[in-house]
Amino acid sequence: MDRFLSVVYESWSIIDDPLVLPAYALWRMNWIHPFVEGNGRTARATC
């Protein structure tokens, strides 16, 4: 989670395409899968 948040924070002003960072956040949250219930809902909310 620390690395994920670091990448999102560091990439916030660098990435030009508005869909790249939310797509990465959705993929990474589903890949990390830190939640027993509601992982998909939390990932989509993050996206």
User: How many other β-carbons are positioned within 10 Å of the β-carbon of residue 25?
Assistant: 19
Q: What sign for the dihedral angle of Cα 7, 10, 12, 13?
A: negative
Q: What is the model's pLDDT at position 38?
A: 65
| pTM greater than the 0.85 cutoff | no
Note the pLDDT tens digit of each residue in 32-44.
Answer: 776 666 667 777 7
Cβ burial, residue 19 (10 Å; 0-12/13-18/19+):
exposed
Q: What is the model's pLDDT at position 16?
A: 85
Tokens 């956040």 sit at which residue?
25
**Average pLDDT for 9-24:** 87
